[in-house]
Structure 1
Amino acid sequence: MADKTLVCKDCGKEFVFTEGEQNFYKEKGFDNEPQRCVDCRKARKQQNNNRGFRR
């Protein structure tokens, strides 16, 4: 497996989905690649926390 360059669906910036992250996703049984960059994931998580959603 090699690093993959993906495009964030929120901000449109490219980000790297590393080989280590890919292995982690595979071990956890996740079928889909991440759709958002780290910054947008953090922002979305913060928004959800502010709305009362669980972590």
Structure 2
Amino acid sequence: MKGRTRCRMHGGTKGSGAPKGRANGNYQHGHFTCEAIQGRLAVRKLIRQAKSTLARLT
């Protein structure tokens, strides 16, 4: 909605919702926490870089 901070249909504002991590009652194993996802992305990036480096050497 233009000029407003809250949607008149959905009512959600920035920062609303359940807490992150262990403070959330549905937390089970942490596999999908922001830190875990960022770690997996970093590992994938390193693997891609290593593969491209090896491809250039051969």
TM category, shorter: 0.3 to 0.5
Structure scoring higher RCO (CA < 8 A, sep ≥ 6) equals: 1
Q: TM-score, normalised by structure 1?
A: 0.33
Report which of the two structures shows the higher radius of gyration computed on alpha carbons: 2
Which one has the bigger helix percentage? 2
Which one has the bigger strand percentage? 1
